[in-house]
Amino acid sequence: MVKRSFSIFYVLLFFINVLDAQDTYEKNESADVLSYIFGLTLNDANNTIEGEAIVTIDFNNQSDAATLDLIKKSDQYGMNITAVFEDDVAIDYVYEDNKLHLPSSADANVRTFKIKYRGIPERGLVIDTTKFGQRSFFGDNWPNLARHWLPCVDHPYDKATVEFRITAPDHYDVVATGKKVEESNIGNGLKLTTYKEPAPVPMKVVTIGVTKFASKLLDQIGDIEVSAWVYPENRLDGFSDYAVAVDVMNYFIDNIGPYSYAKLANMQAKTQWGGLENAGTISYFENSVTGNKTVEGLIAHEIAHQWFGNSATENSWNHVWLSEGFATYFAILYLEHVYGIEKRKEELLLDRNQVIEYYKKNPSPIVDNSIKDPMKVLSTNTYQKGSWVLNMLRHKLGDDTFWKGIRLYYKTYRDSNAMTKDFREVMEHASGVDLNHFFDQWIFTKGHPQLKWNWEYENGSIIVHIDQAQGHHIFNFPLELGIVMNGVQKLESVLLNKTSQTFELSAHVKPDHIVLDPDSWLLFEEQKL
């Protein structure tokens, strides 16, 4: 996902040498949701939704109850549960503190419940009008807002297949997570539209879009339909702007691995974000449609999420860089593929400046265990700095090994969950390199190298003096020097691992100038002594 300004953004702590996060969501590993079927009835008279959720749960440990999140009605907003059934028999349940507790049973492990409810969602399902004044309904769940309109385990650790059965006035077009399996006029001016997603999905990225749409099949990649869903008033511009999704999809399939979901719809929407990576049904902010094809990077970012964040999903909110850092860097990789190396360097230098400025006010590591609220895990650290870590890892391992590791990571954790430790171990397996120090230094330690340096030429030698001025921690890393003589650049590499170091390099003549990290592989800031 990308924040509204969509350069790709925005949170505190000291060095933490732990790999597991302080995720405060109470997980129940003994009750696994296997599938959701959400039947929703929408209307034009008011914002009340009628819901019927059919939830199938595997009780691995029959002594534990299952708990679903659902915001309870308070004043105007929230949901009232009217009944809960199992096998069409009403059962007792407990609904308090925005939690629905479903009892376990000694009779069966896999059980299916039907939950009937109604109310007005305050968040999660955005009921509003489009910028053209058309009434609209858009799911906008990230990070944990699904509970405002869907009874579910509202945390990415428990993924399940999803089916939406939307009943709405027949003048609406409907798109949702999954592939369309039914569209039927059912009388009384109503239409039933059903979408079904067979791959397990975290609730943060399931969605519906209900309004008047213009839609177009952009292409079909294998058996995956790639489409655009835009407001009718933006029809031609929207189809043109979103068409690049086909090229992006092909690039990621070719380089990472198979796409997991039933389709890829690119949807103009009311969203709090610049883009939201809903699985197979991406939301882009309303003004993303310009006709000028200015959102290629945004589209690449959100499509990259289909692999990282949606399919291979962080198991803890504090490890969200596995989603956002990956999407940020893989968008850059796509742009590098299309426009060349200089485009990669341009994007990374912009991001480096943002990381430096962010750190001045927020000295914290990428995995920050002091954060308890998932709405606060998004930061320049988890986006741009996470992206930079992948850039440095790529350079450390080399392109072939980096891509080998990425493909193995996705293959291993496709449709599953991972932590930073899991990613590190996969990359170690692919490369044969011990990466523990690399990850501790760049992911779990705050800050970055702050280099103060100068150079001089004496008696056939270039003498380069470099200090690490960040104070709190000495980084250990190779630094490339670009030595330019008569307009030709030669690369030399030095190892920095002390507070102050001096390097002597042989040269027959005095260089024109020297550049630190000329190819933009290292996250650092510099100042001349």
Q: What is the pLDDT of residue 16?
A: 29
Averaged pLDDT for residues 335-340: 98
74: its two tokens: 């308070």
**Residue 96 belongs to some domain of the structure:** yes
Q: 283 and 327: one domain? A: no
**Residue 371 belongs to some domain of the structure:** yes
**Residue 4 belongs to some domain of the structure:** no
**Residue 169 belongs to some domain of the structure:** yes
CATH number at residue 333: 1.10.390.10
Q: 65 and 162: one domain? A: yes
Contacts of 373 (CB under 8 A, 6+ apart): none
Q: What is the pLDDT of residue 20?
A: 45
The number of folded domains in the chain is 3
Among candidate residues 127, 146, 169, 188, the one with its CA nearest the CA of residue 41 = 169
Q: What is the pLDDT of residue 6?
A: 37
Indicate whether 11 pLDDT > 60: no
Q: 297 and 322: one domain? A: no
**Does residue 512 sit in helix, strand or coil?**
coil
- Confidence at 65, pLDDT banded by 50, 70, 90: confident
Averaged pLDDT for residues 398-426: 98
Contacts of 453 (CB under 8 A, 6+ apart): 464, 465, 466, 467, 516, 526, 527, 528, 529
Give residue 166's domain range.
Answer: 31-304
CATH number at residue 505: 2.60.40.1840
For residue 503, the one-letter residue type is F
**Residue 17 belongs to some domain of the structure:** no
Q: 290 and 359: one domain? A: no
Averaged pLDDT for residues 318-325: 98
**Does residue 416 sit in helix, strand or coil?**
strand
Percentage of residues of the chain with pLDDT beyond 90:
91
- Confidence at 17, pLDDT banded by 50, 70, 90: very low
**Residue 24 belongs to some domain of the structure:** no
**179 phi and psi angles, rounded to 5 deg:** -105, 140
Q: Taking all residues of the chain, what is their mean pLDDT, rounded to a whole number?
A: 94
Q: 49 and 153: one domain? A: yes
Q: What is the pLDDT of residue 428?
A: 98
In this predicted model, what pLDDT tens digit does every residue of 293-319 receive, in sequence order?
A: 999 999 999 999 999 999 999 999 999
Q: What is the pLDDT of residue 3?
A: 64
Taking the C-alpha atoms of residue 480 and residue 476, their distance in angstroms, rounded to an integer, is 13
Indicate whether 423 pLDDT > 50: yes
Q: What is the pLDDT of residue 5?
A: 44
Higher-confidence residue of 247 and 7: namely 247
Give the domain-ending residue among 284, 304, 324: 304
CATH number at residue 213: 2.60.40.1730
Give the domain-ending residue among 283, 304, 325: 304
Place of tokens 């929408």: 42
Q: 475 and 423: one domain? A: no
Q: What is the pLDDT of residue 429?
A: 98
- Confidence at 94, pLDDT banded by 50, 70, 90: very high
Q: 260 and 334: one domain? A: no
Q: What is the pLDDT of residue 360?
A: 96
Place of tokens 């590098």: 336
Taking the C-alpha atoms of residue 365 and residue 436, their distance in angstroms, rounded to an integer, is 16
Give the domain-ending residue among 279, 304, 329: 304
Indicate whether 57 pLDDT > 80: yes
Predicted model pTM = 0.95
Q: 331 and 436: one domain? A: yes
318: its two tokens: 């504090």
Averaged pLDDT for residues 492-511: 96
Q: What is the 3-state secondary structure (H, E, C) of 459-495?
A: CCEEEEEEEECCCCCCCCEEEEEEEEECCEEEEEEEE
Percentage of residues of the chain with pLDDT beyond 70:
96
Q: 348 and 387: one domain? A: yes
Q: 122 and 150: one domain? A: yes
- Confidence at 18, pLDDT banded by 50, 70, 90: very low
In this predicted model, what pLDDT tens digit does every residue of 127-153 receive, in sequence order?
A: 999 999 999 999 999 999 999 999 999
For residue 94, the one-letter residue type is V
Q: 438 and 507: one domain? A: no
Taking the C-alpha atoms of residue 213 and residue 56, their distance in angstroms, rounded to an integer, is 33
Among candidate residues 484, 528, 492, the one with its CA nearest the CA of residue 509 = 484
Q: What is the pLDDT of residue 15?
A: 27
169 preceded by a cis bond (ω within 30 of 0)? no
**Residue 311 belongs to some domain of the structure:** no
Higher-confidence residue of 14 and 510: namely 510
- Confidence at 14, pLDDT banded by 50, 70, 90: very low
Q: What is the pLDDT of residue 318?
A: 96
Q: How far is CA 18 from CA 22, 27, 312, 369, 439, in A?
A: 10, 20, 21, 9, 11
**Does residue 175 sit in helix, strand or coil?**
strand
In this predicted model, what pLDDT tens digit does every residue of 434-491 receive, in sequence order?
A: 999 999 999 999 999 999 999 999 999 999 999 999 988 999 999 999 999 999 999 9
Q: 91 and 233: one domain? A: yes
**Residue 5 belongs to some domain of the structure:** no
In this predicted model, what pLDDT tens digit does every residue of 261-281 receive, in sequence order?
A: 999 999 999 999 999 999 999
Indicate whether 414 pLDDT > 80: yes
